[in-house]
């Protein structure tokens, strides 16, 4: 889980640092480099979230190569083609893919451009926001001839968001700090994937005043903010105990993300939102039958 989570966060941070990673590309939304065949039968993905998209659409059999960070048992025997920031052009080309699915970032710009120069079509899929994820699902569905499956999945995600938003209206709104790392303190700020889900789940992001989506945040500002809940999405606990002991944070309720669904901008975001809602609004413990 650690390696996969690192890859996901590298993708999130990298995309936001780079903006549009490919020269001349539109600022947002899926786009194609090269010309894919009318029927795509062989697919390579460069991040686990895109692998999950292909699988969620029932097209897992089309996968012929994945990133080194993919850990699902369904792709355990597939060739590895490097990572998000360092894909191997040679490994990708050797698999003769009809289409490569890419999340754009500063490290993979040149390798992806080289793939296209060598005749390998690429579908570029920004995954900054929930809207991006839904657009990516539709784009992958269209490319793989799975439009109906993609729209059904998008509809389910949108229904989950609507249901959670409605449920959140009946709950108090806790002040939340969403942490990706403790030394330095990296948190979810405005424009981040987690910030959107926090809003859906009825939480108030104490780092909403940050200037970027994934800022290194001031410890002093966090202490002054006095969050009600701290969501721990960090892989490494170094610095956690020190932060947790500070005034304004020692009284907070600390919770850990139960899965990668809150970190992975993909088809599991509906499940991630449900998990976040329960973290922010835990159900009261059932009363003992003998207590009246």
- 157 belongs to a structural domain: no
Task: Let me know whether 200 and 80 are in one domain.
Answer: no
Picking from 259, 215, 127, 163, the residue whose alpha carbon sits closest to that of residue 205 is 215
DSSP designation for 74: G
- Secondary structure element (H or E) that encloses residue 232, with its range: strand 229-232
CATH number where 94 lies: 3.40.50.1980
What predicted TM-score, i.e. pTM, was given to this entire model?
0.86
- 108 belongs to a structural domain: yes
Task: Let me know whether 27 and 109 are in one domain.
Answer: yes
Q: How far apart are CA 179 and CA 192, in angstroms?
A: 12
- 207 belongs to a structural domain: yes
Backbone phi, psi, residue 110, to 5°: -65, -45
Picking from 75, 90, 80, the residue whose alpha carbon sits closest to that of residue 120 is 90
- Looking at the DSSP bridge assignments, the partners of residue 32 are 123
Task: Let me know whether 193 and 261 are in one domain.
Answer: yes
Question: Domain count of the chain?
Answer: 2
Which of 145, 162, 189 is the last residue before a domain boundary?
Answer: 145
Helix, strand, or coil (residue 18):
helix
What would the DSSP string read from start to end of 245-280? TSTTTTTSEEEE-SSGGGT--STTHHHHHHHHHHHH
Backbone phi, psi, residue 54, to 5°: -60, -45
Task: Let me know whether 184 and 109 are in one domain.
Answer: no
- 159 belongs to a structural domain: no
CB 186 within 8 A of CB 231: no
Q: How far apart are CA 217 and CA 207, in angstroms?
A: 8
User: What is the pLDDT at residue 2?
Assistant: 40
Q: How far apart are CA 142 and CA 150, in angstroms?
A: 8
Task: Let me know whether 17 and 74 are in one domain.
Answer: yes
Burial of 241 per CB tally in 10 Å (0-12, 13-18, 19+): exposed
Task: Let me know whether 17 and 134 are in one domain.
Answer: yes
Task: Let me know whether 72 and 198 are in one domain.
Answer: no
User: What is the pLDDT at residue 257?
Assistant: 94
- 155 belongs to a structural domain: no
Task: Let me know whether 30 and 124 are in one domain.
Answer: yes
Task: Let me know whether 189 and 74 are in one domain.
Answer: no
Q: How far apart are CA 173 and CA 19, in angstroms?
A: 32
Helix, strand, or coil (residue 31):
strand
- 291 belongs to a structural domain: no
- 86 belongs to a structural domain: yes
Task: Let me know whether 18 and 85 are in one domain.
Answer: yes
User: What is the pLDDT at residue 96?
Assistant: 98
Picking from 17, 102, 118, the residue whose alpha carbon sits closest to that of residue 67 is 102
- 192 belongs to a structural domain: yes
Task: Let me know whether 186 and 136 are in one domain.
Answer: no
CB 229 within 8 A of CB 174: yes
What would the DSSP string read from start to end of 154-198? HHHHHHHHHHHHHHHTTS---EEEEEEETTTTEE--TTSHHHHHH
**Cα torsion angle, 273, 66, 102, 30, sign:** negative
Q: Which domain, by its residues, includes 86?
A: 10-145
CB 1 within 8 A of CB 90: no
Per-residue pLDDT of the chain (292 residues; tens, 9 = 90+): 444 444 445 444 444 333 333 444 444 689 999 999 999 999 999 999 999 999 999 999 999 999 999 999 999 999 999 998 899 999 999 999 999 999 998 889 999 999 999 999 999 999 989 999 999 999 999 999 999 999 999 999 999 999 999 999 999 999 999 999 999 999 999 988 899 999 999 999 999 999 899 999 999 999 999 999 999 999 899 999 999 999 989 999 999 999 888 888 999 999 999 999 999 999 765 554 444 4
Task: Let me know whether 210 and 99 are in one domain.
Answer: no
User: What is the pLDDT at residue 284?
Assistant: 63
């Amino acid at each position: 889980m650690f390696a996969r989570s690192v890859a996901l966060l590298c993708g999130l941070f990298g995309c936001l640092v780079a903006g549009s990673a490919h020269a001349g590309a539109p600022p947002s939304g899926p786009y194609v480099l090269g010309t894919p065949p009318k029927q795509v039968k062989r697919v390579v993905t460069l991040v686990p979230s895109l692998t999950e998209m292909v699988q969620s659409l029932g097209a897992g059999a089309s996968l012929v190569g994945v990133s080194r960070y993919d850990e699902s048992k369904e792709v355990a025997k597939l060739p590895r083609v490097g990572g998000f920031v360092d894909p191997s052009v040679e490994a990708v080309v050797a698999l003769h893919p009809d289409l490569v699915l890419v999340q754009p970032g500063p490290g993979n710009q040149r390798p992806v451009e080289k793939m296209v120069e060598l005749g390998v079509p690429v579908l570029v899929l920004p995954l900054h926001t929930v809207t991006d994820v839904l657009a990516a699902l539709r784009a992958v569905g269209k490319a793989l001839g799975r439009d109906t499956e993609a729209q059904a999945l998008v509809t389910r995600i949108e229904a989950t968001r609507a249901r959670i938003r409605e449920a959140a209206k009946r709950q108090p709104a806790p002040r939340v700090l969403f942490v990706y790392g403790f030394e330095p303190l990296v948190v979810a700020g405005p424009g981040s994937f987690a910030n959107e889900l926090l809003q859906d789940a009825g939480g108030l992001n104490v780092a909403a005043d940050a200037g970027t989506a994934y800022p290194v945040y001031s410890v002093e500002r966090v202490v002054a903010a006095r969050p009600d809940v701290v969501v721990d999405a960090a892989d490494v606990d170094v610095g956690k105990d020190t932060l947790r002991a500070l005034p304004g944070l020692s009284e907070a309720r600390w919770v850990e993300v139960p899965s990668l669904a809150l970190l992975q901008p993909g088809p599991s975001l509906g499940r991630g939102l449900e998990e976040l809602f329960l973290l922010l609004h835990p159900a009261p413990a059932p009363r003992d039958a003998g207590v009246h």
